[in-house]
Chain A
Amino acid sequence: DAGVIQSPRHEVTEMGQEVTLRCKPISGHNSLFWYRQTMMRGLELLIYFNNNVPIDDSGMPEDRFSAKMPNASFSTLKIQPSEPRDSAVYFCASSFRTGGADTEAFFGQGTRLTVV
């Protein structure tokens, strides 16, 4: 398996533009997580899905952020409009959860977003 695949790897955009980050989880995994990493705040959980359903989005900073998971093999994180303070590395991770038992989450390589 190729692991969790994120695209793009790097994104530079102007303030006010819409940004869409993409994630393909590991095949067979049923949980998907979006994290943001900055020097100021470390690794923060933004939202996670279980069986394509959003379970907890309390980490989403504000309404400018939205995430979808239309099927088991694809998820997007959208920022509209983007602001310079959104600059960060965004990670997607996936795991397999069965019978209430959690397992390790595997991370993608991340998308480095720069908003100028």
Chain B
Amino acid sequence: GESVGLHLPTLSVQEGDNSIINCAYSNSASDYFIWYKQESGKGPQFIIDIRSNMDKRQGQRVTVLLNKTVKHLSLQIAATQPGDSAVYFCAESPRNQGGKLIFGQGTELSVKP
């Protein structure tokens, strides 16, 4: 029979534009959050993290924003490049659960040259 897979949200942007990828997390006890990038055929790769005592953190071309009130996380990528094309996952780590990471469904970012 025909298999039905997850239909990942897709974000398509023009090279050079900024990208914003959003994520809603579920557990109000989560106190640590990570964004991962996964390219085809590879494992998830760490991009940036943020702890619950912060609401913003910046890296190289990337910024993560955390809104604990509405349990929302976003990843902003500045000057998006073709090499940024991948699936992006947010992950939450509930407090006192040994570093367990719970992943969201992912968003596919497609960068048009």
Contact = CB atoms under 8 A, between A and B. Distances in A.
Interface in B55-94: 89, 93
B99 A42 contact: no
Contact of A48 (B32, B42, B96, B99): B99
Interface residues of B, number: 26
A41 to B, nearest CB: 8
Contact size class for A? 20 to 34
A56 B6 contact: no
Contact of B98 (A93, A97, A109): A97
B3 to A, nearest CB: 7
Interface string B17-39: 00000000000000010101000
B99 A95 contact: yes
Contact of A45 (B3, B44, B89, B100): B100
Nearest to A31: B99
Nearest to B5: A39
Nearest to B96: A100
A5 to B, nearest CB: 11
Contacts of B98: 31, 48, 50, 55-56, 97
